[in-house]
Every structure is written in structure tokens, then in C-alpha cells.
Chains A and B, each alone.
Chain A
Amino acid sequence: MSTPLVEVKEIHKIFEVGGHFLQREKPKVRAINDVSLQIKEGEAFCLVGESGCGKSTLARTVMGLLHPSAGEIQYRGARIDNLKHKDRLPYHRKMQMIFQNPYASLNPRRTIQKTLEEPLRFHFPEMSDKDVKEKVEEVMTSVGNDPSWGKRYPHEFSGGQRQRISIARALMVDPDFVVADEPISALDVSIQAQVLNVMMDAQEKRNLTYLFITHDLSVVEHFGTTVGVMYLGTLCELADTKTLFSKPRHPYTQVLLSAIPRLTCEEMDHTKLTGEVPSAMNLPSGCVFHNRCPYANERCKREIPLLRKLEDGAAVACHALEEGRI
């Protein structure tokens, strides 16, 4: 097997919060606990999970916006999380990000042209003005924007238009890998489809690999090739889209999939969970899901389950499945 494009190895991310400066043990939020995953070239890797489960933190850690507390991030086999700013520059060119909120992700004081030119001028200072202009035009057209928008400011555009500008900015430097952090959750449904199509077109034409973060499972089914399900900072199931949707293994994934709203009434048998998601400041012992899991037993309370590969390629972290109780 060839080396994956991006590999996340045993990442932990702990935030210290609050506490005053004399307090020795500051309260800690364990946002990501021992997550490992591989993203192969050409994939659209989807990361799903409910709010606060660490999806965005993981994405930001991969992009270098946050430093992992432990673990490694590799790009084509080379470790990148410990590089100095200057050594990391070539990877900034290869990895780009699309943000969640199109109203905050464009600098309000800059024209669209300036925003789009900046990455080019920074990474390719030798490019002539004419080439830069042509490139901006080409990318703008490819995401379905009118290149003449350049002179205008972000507040003159709608959410969908801004998100397409945001996508254009990410594509300016011809990246190989794009992280999209809930790029469509701030848009209304008709625009969501449009933006998704723009992203899929770009993937086809530019040979992109995506790490796509979302909580919308129907989008995953439509868009993703591989899916990772996260719960409370841990990865509980990893499978290709078809396998996951047809045969969800982990109890949490099963519950999550049963919660997808459907038009037909026969299937209205949501599995309901009791209780709430525990606080990441005070993680449950053993499996993080044990106090809400219908299959939990003593072992689940004691021992943290590891992600185990099954014969059809899916990987699941669950004692019950391993022991054959489900």
C-alpha cells in the first residue's frame, strides 16, 4: 500500500482552561484523545459527529492552526506538526482550508481581488501581474463566480457567493489537500447543494483530496468516500461510506444513523439515547460512550476500546462488537 497523503498518528489535544495563575493544576479539556487516521490521495474523507466532539479541533490541528499536545501529523510520510514556520511554508501551499462561516472568513476591509491575490503573491512572488490576474480569473470562473467581482468588498455578497469566493481562495495555490470545516452548515439548503457541487467539480478537475467535516449525514452519503465517526474526542468507527451506511457497527454510529430524518414513516424507529454527552473536562473511564451505551458492561467501564480492523475494511472501537455481544 502506498503512503497515505495525510496521516494523523495518535493525536491528543488538551486545552487548559480558566483557573487563576497560582493554581497548579489547571482544569483541562481533553478535546481529542488518541485519534489516528489515514487519508489516501483522491479521497473525500468525511468526519462526522455531534457538536463539541472535536471534529473542528482535529481539522485545525491537521492544518497547523493548533499544535497537538501529543502525536504526529504526516504529509506524504513527512512529519509536519513540529516544523518551524519557514520550513512549513511548502506545506501551506499544498494544504488549504475552507471555513465554516462565510461571513467571517473574508477580511471585510479587502476587496475580493486582493483577498484572492494574496496567497499567490505570497507563495509565488516571481509571478507577473498579468499571470496573477489570469489565475484569479480562471479560478473565479471555475467556482462559478464572475471574475468582475474583484473590485467589490465581501459585504456586497450573499453567503453562498462568499463561500464560493472562500473556496476560490483555497484553490488559488493549487493545493493537493483541502480541509473543509463545515463549509455548508451556515448556508441554506438550495445553496448547500450548489456549493457541494462546486467542491465536487473542483475535486474532479484539480485532483483534490478532501477532509470534510460535517454533522449532516445525508451530505456524507452523497459526498464522502470514507467516513470517520467521532464521539467526545475519540474515533469510534472508520469505514468507507457504503459499508458504514449499510452496516453500521458501533452502537453510537447506529444511533446516529437512525437519527437521519426520513420522509417515510415506517422507519421512524429512532434508537433513543438517555442522558447527555459527558463533559470533555471530566471524561468517563474506559469507553467514553459506556454510560449511554445499551450494550455496556463492566469491561467497557474499565478499559478503553481500541480501533480494530474488521474483515471488510471497516474499523470499530467497541468491546461489545469484539466479544460478539452485538
Chain B
Amino acid sequence: MSKFKTFLQSDFFHHFKSDRVAMISFSVIFLFFMAALFAPVLSPFNPHDPSQIDIMDSEIPPVWSSTDHAEPDERFLLGTDAQGRDMLSAILYGLRISITIGLFAVVVQMGLGIAIGLISGYMGGRVDAFFMRLADIQLSLSTMMIAIIVLAIFQASFGAELYEEMAIFMLVMVIGIAEWPQYARTIRASVLAEKNKEYVDAARVIGLSSPTIMVRHILPNTLSPLLVISTVQVANAIISEAALSFLGLGMPVTTPSLGSLISAGFEFIFSGSWWITTIPSLVLITLILTINLLGDWLRDVLNPKLYKG
């Protein structure tokens, strides 16, 4: 409890309170996360259950508008898509899937990046040269290209059915592995700065082993830049997933993420059913924007050189 109290009195919290953008961003992100977490409770239908979908309900507009060939229906707050699936439920579940993939992909990136960055920075020499050239090669290929190639090959060789089952796992792994250099480079830079400080020598004089020094002494001192890139990377991972889904390589239509919802609705945009693609797009844009704004704010606050009174 006392820790919570000190947090409330901290500089960090003070900055947070006095910055309206940060407050709003945080509240929006918090809302989205809660909505994703409690999607099964909040949503009126289960969009993953085909028995709750009636094709007769297809393309019903949101409650506040109407089209030439359909009237709004009170059961469907945000309308339905081409299969008669409730958009609100689909978006809540889609948000859940997008956020899950984003977070876990970042966990994979972070795990790989921290391990490689620490080892490479601390060991130096050839180990460092090897990993950093590997990172250069990885960065010269865009994430999307790697992801598309890997996912397309997987889909072609194991069939679409297996792919649908493994989609979440595959997306997490692909996005996670494709973006580790971001973390590795950031960590390595901090490690290079920290490892020549005398407290590291002091730890060596005590006789601690290199892994212990890396994890217990150096790592805690390199964490604040990590927090900043993590926010940006979560947003990036969610976008990557949405882009892949849009291209038909991400989540299948039966268990859609935000990207697959946008993709599925895209063909109806000129036939008057604009809501199928627009609403999930707005949700995605708001989510990414707020995460990025919060990330920017974090970077400013945690950077002592940009200290604003």
C-alpha cells in the first residue's frame, strides 16, 4: 500500500496528471483493454458461434442510420456484416484477438531482443559483431515481407485448415521474431553505456558470474528505454497483424481480428454498407493513435534531457 502511495506522490504521476493528452490516451487504452478483456460478458452475441448467426440479418445498418434496402434493428447496435454477424460483438472479440497478438508478439520480441542485446553488448567483440550484422540483415528485410513469405509458405504447405487453428500462434511468432532487432539494438546501446560504470566492476570484483551481472545489475538499469519502445512496438505489432489479416494471411474470417473485419467489409464499401469496414477501422485507428501518444509522452517523461518543469 505504501508503494502505491509513493507512486501517487511521484514525479511521474504528477506529470501524468498535468498532461491532458496522456490522461485521455491512457483512459482510452484502458477502456479498450477492459473491453477486450471482458468481451464475452459485454457483447450481446458470440460472433465465433455460427449457430447465433442468421444470414437473414445480414447487412443491417447501425441503429442511427438506414439504407435503401434495410432498416436498423435494435438488437444490432452497430449493425451487422454480410453474414449477419453483430458488428459490436465482432469488434469486441476482434479487439481481444488483436490486443492479444500485439502483446504476445511484443513479449516474444522483448525476450529475444533482451537476451541478444544483453549478450551482444556485454560480451562485445565477435559475438557482438555477429548478432549486430544479423540484426542489420533482418532490418533490411521489411517485417511485412518476412511475415508474408513465412505465412504464405505455411498456408500452402500445411493447408488452410491447420492454418486457421494455428493462426494466432503463427502471427505472434512471425511478428515477434521479425522485430527483435529493435529491442536488441536499444538494449545493446544501454548496456554499452552501463557496462563500463564502476558498479559493474564492483560486481566483478565480488566474483559474480557474467550472467548474474548482466541480469541483476545491468538489466535493471536499461529498462526505461524499453518501456518506451514497448508501447510503440505493441502498436506496430497490432498494425502488422491488421495488415496481414487484410491481405488474407492473418486471422481467418471465422474468428476475425480487427484487420480481418476491415478486410471482410472492404468489398461492401461501395455497395452502401460502409459500416462493416469503417467502424472497425475507427477502433483500430483510435487504439494505435492513443498507444503512440502515450508512448511519446512516456519518452518525454523518462528522458531527463527533455525535462519540462
Contacts and interface: CB of A to CB of B under 8 A. Distances in A.
Interface of A: 60, 63-65, 85, 88-89, 92-93, 95-97, 99-101, 104-110, 118-119, 122-123, 166, 169, 173
Interface string B177-209: 000000000000000000001110111111111
Nearest to A103: B198
Contacts of A88: 207
Nearest to B208: A122
B205 A104 contact: no
A99 B220 contact: no
A89 B207 CA distance: 6
A19 to B, nearest CB: 14
Interface in B33-80: none
Contact of B206 (A99, A100, A106, A122): A122
Interface residues of B, number: 15
B221 interface: yes
A99 B202 contact: yes
A93 B198 contact: no
Contacts of A96: 205
Contacts of B204: 64-65
Contact of A105 (B198, B206, B209, B221): B198
Given A64-B205, A123-B206, 20 more contacts: A60-B201, A64-B204, A65-B204, A85-B207, A85-B209, A88-B207, A92-B207, A93-B207, A97-B201, A99-B201, A99-B202, A105-B197, A105-B198, A105-B202, A107-B203, A107-B220, A108-B199, A118-B206, A118-B208, A119-B206
A124 B219 CA distance: 25
Contact of A63 (B203, B205, B209, B221): B205
A122 B204 CA distance: 12
A85 B209 CA distance: 8
B209 A104 contact: no
Contacts of B198: 99-101, 104-105
A123 B203 CA distance: 12
Nearest to A21: B129
B217 interface: yes
26 contacts: A60-B201, A64-B204, A64-B205, A65-B201, A85-B207, A85-B209, A92-B205, A92-B207, A95-B205, A97-B205, A99-B198, A99-B202, A100-B198, A104-B197, A104-B198, A105-B197, A107-B199, A107-B203, A107-B220, A109-B220, A109-B221, A110-B220, A118-B208, A122-B206, A123-B207, A166-B202
